[in-house]
Amino acid sequence: MMTSILKASMAGMALAALATAASAGGTLRLDEVAVGGPDPAKAADYSDSSLIFNVYDTLILPRQGGPGHVPHLAESWEGEGTSFTFNLRPDVSFHSGNPLTADDVVFSFERTVGLGQGLSYLFGLVDSVEAIDADTVRFNLAQPNAPFVASLVRLPIVDKKLVMENLGDGEGDMKDWGQAFLSANGAGTGAYIVKSHNPQEETVMLRNDNYFLGVPEKAPDTVRLRYGLEAATVRTLIAQGEHDISSQWLPPEVKKALADDGMQLLTESGTGAFYFKMNTTRAPLDDVHCRMALSNVFDYGSVLKLIAITDTVSGGSPSTGAIPVGMFGANPADEVLVRDIEAAKAHLAACRYDPAEFTVEISWIAEVPLEERLALLMQANLAEIGVNSTIQKVPWALFTEMVSKPENTPNLSQIFVTAVTGDPDTLLYGMYHSTSAGTWQSPEYLNDAEVDSLLDAGRTGASESDRQEAYAALNARLMDLTASIYGFDRQSVFAASPRVSVPALSDPAMAFGLDGMGFAFRLMEIE
């Protein structure tokens, strides 16, 4: 008995080795550091987004290769000022088979705002959403809001009927708004259907053959989004042909090693930046001269060396100011920020605090190892002008809690921020408007009337040139205030096996200009 099991298992081992060598055709395997949450009302980070963009659809999509938006679930839309009307496509149905109607759009909006999590703050200016008829839906705004249309790429449409059939325990009419159900199931119209979701392993998705736009033949049949793999594991699995696309959080050296092994590097660029955010409410950084000393002493050049992957691909490009290159109000790409130790010393001398008497706390997010090195760089830079510092590692969940009070917020917080809809409003308003202080994006606690009015002007600007003007003025004002150190304009880089082709992440003419959208699996091709 024992020997026969042993024999069988030996045979099994040999078979297993064969099976993995043959590898699954049409299966796309990728990974993310954080667990993706499939609930569309809670989605906020990159892994959530890459799930949501595939399982759900939105009324509109960003235009590939340029600014603006194109129809998607909505055939067309019209409106300006405070009222926008969308005409839905008649031929769309959910994974459950239920047809898409205007009621679903209203429900999706109400659910997002009702739960108040994720990116629901984008819709704060929307007063109400009403279904005019089965295929027409109208959004009523409290005041004119230029980035409103762009924000709709963050309103995934949920299957109302299915969710209402699966409400869990909770108070009120809507009970739990279907949170329990949607934390493990999909209820969308998207090109992929959630098959299983294990928060410690992976989410498995299957191609939706009834997708209203159709899914091309060469797109993957099955997608396995794996969670929390070690960098060394990803590196080896890709090299062995058992993994296809890495997360952007893989350290630059590892991406380089993979590129040297013949893997391709995919990029998704720049609607965001890397910042050292300075807490302007606490000594010593409540003095603008101390802040300017720090921003001048920081070694911008070394950072670029650190994030470079190959001669042509890098995790970012030089920063030119408070607004990333390519957005409204950005400075020209060649006016890069540089280190100036003499200026730093002069500002430090002008600062009302004595460097011998304070210590600067530098925090870094535990999930992003690169930030530890940047913290060490900052610490070494500060030491050159006689400023002492301590380094503090903070897990993400705890960081968002710490910054909710100015007295708990570190002097320097390292943060990557991206414009969640691609519009500069969603990058800057949440960081610098006095009413948004105290979130993970705004540990500066900036409170400046001029900044506030320029942000409002950018938000309500009637024409593109008005907005351009407002944001250019804002950029200059922010540089004067120096509430943040602008480390670099970020670019996400992914290492990928040559068996996948991802035009949205390799061809600028096909890029979406929206973080995570490049992972629309239906637009990928796999051998």
Partner 1 sequence: MRSVCKLLAGRVAISLLVLAGVSVLVFAIARIIPGDPARIALGPNATAEQVRKLREQLHLDEPVWIQYGFFVRDLAKGDLGVSLYTNRPVTTDIAQFLPATLELILVAGIFMIGIGLPLGILSARYRGRAVDHVIRIASLLGVSAPSFVWAVILMLLFAFFLPLFPIAGRISTDYEIARATGFLLVDSLLAANFAAFGNALWHIVLPAFALALSGIGQAARLTRANMIETYEKPFIEMARSYGFPEKRIARRYAFRPSLIPSLTILGLDFAAMLGNAFLVEAIFAWPGLSRYGVTVILRKDLNAIVGTVLIISAAFLIANLVVDLLIAFLNPRIRYGQESK
Partner 2 sequence: MRRSLAIISANPMSLTGVILIALVVVSAALADFIAPFPAHRGAVVDFANFNQPPKWPNIMGTDLVGRDLFSRILYAYRISLILGVVVLALAVPVGIVAGLAAGYIGGRTQFVLMRTTDVFLSIPPLVLAMSIMGVLEPTLANGMMAVTAMWWPWYSRLVFNITLAEKEEGYVLAAELIGASRLHIMFREILPNCLPAIITKMTLDLGFVILIASSLSFLGLGVQPPTPDLGSMVAQGASYLPDSWWLTVFPGLAILVAVFGFNLLGDALRDILGADR
Residue 16 interface partner, choices partner 2, partner 1, none, CB cut-off 5-8 Å depending on type: partner 1
Long-range contacts of 375-384 (CB under 8 A, 24+ apart): 375/414, 377/299, 377/302, 377/303, 377/306, 378/276, 378/298, 378/412, 381/297, 381/298, 381/299, 382/294, 382/297, 384/297, 384/341
Check residue 279 for interaction with partner 1 (CB under 8 A).
Answer: no
Alpha helices by DSSP H, 326-390: 341-350, 370-384
- Provide the binding-site residues for partner 2, judged by CB under 8 A: 230-232, 235-236, 251, 253-254, 257, 302, 305-306, 366, 369, 372-373, 375-377, 379-380, 383, 389, 391-393
Binding mask 436-475 for partner 1 (x = CB under 8 A): ---xxx----------------------------------
Measured distance CA(478)–CA(291) in Å, rounded: 12
- How many CB atoms lie under 10 A from the CB of residue 27? 14
Measured distance CA(175)–CA(155) in Å, rounded: 21
- The single residue among 75, 201, 299, 372 that binds partner 1, judged by CB under 8 A, is 201
Phi, psi of 54 (to 5 degrees): -100, -30
Binding mask 30-69 for partner 1 (x = CB under 8 A): -----x-x-x--x-x-------------------------
Check residue 404 for interaction with partner 1 (CB under 8 A).
Answer: yes
Residue 305 interface partner, choices partner 2, partner 1, none, CB cut-off 5-8 Å depending on type: partner 2
- The single residue among 81, 116, 214, 301 that binds partner 1, judged by CB under 8 A, is 116
Measured distance CA(313)–CA(506) in Å, rounded: 11
Torsion on CA atoms 212, 216, 217, 219, rounded to nearest 10: -110
Stretch that binds partner 1, among 117-125, 325-333, 338-346, 416-424 (CB under 8 A): 117-125
Measured distance CA(312)–CA(412) in Å, rounded: 31
Listed residue (75, 21, 30, 68) closest to 51, CA to CA: 30
Residue 28 interface partner, choices partner 1, partner 2, none, CB cut-off 5-8 Å depending on type: none
3-state secondary structure of 97: coil
Stretch that binds partner 1, among 83-91, 115-123, 253-261, 303-311 (CB under 8 A): 115-123
Measured distance CA(73)–CA(69) in Å, rounded: 12
Check residue 128 for interaction with partner 1 (CB under 8 A).
Answer: no
Q: Which is nearer to partner 2, 362 or 502 (CB)?
A: 362
Binding footprint of partner 1 on the chain (CB under 8 A): 8-17, 19-20, 24, 27, 29, 35, 37, 39, 42, 44, 116-121, 179, 183-184, 198-201, 224, 228-230, 232-233, 236-237, 240, 366, 395, 397-398, 400-402, 404, 439-441
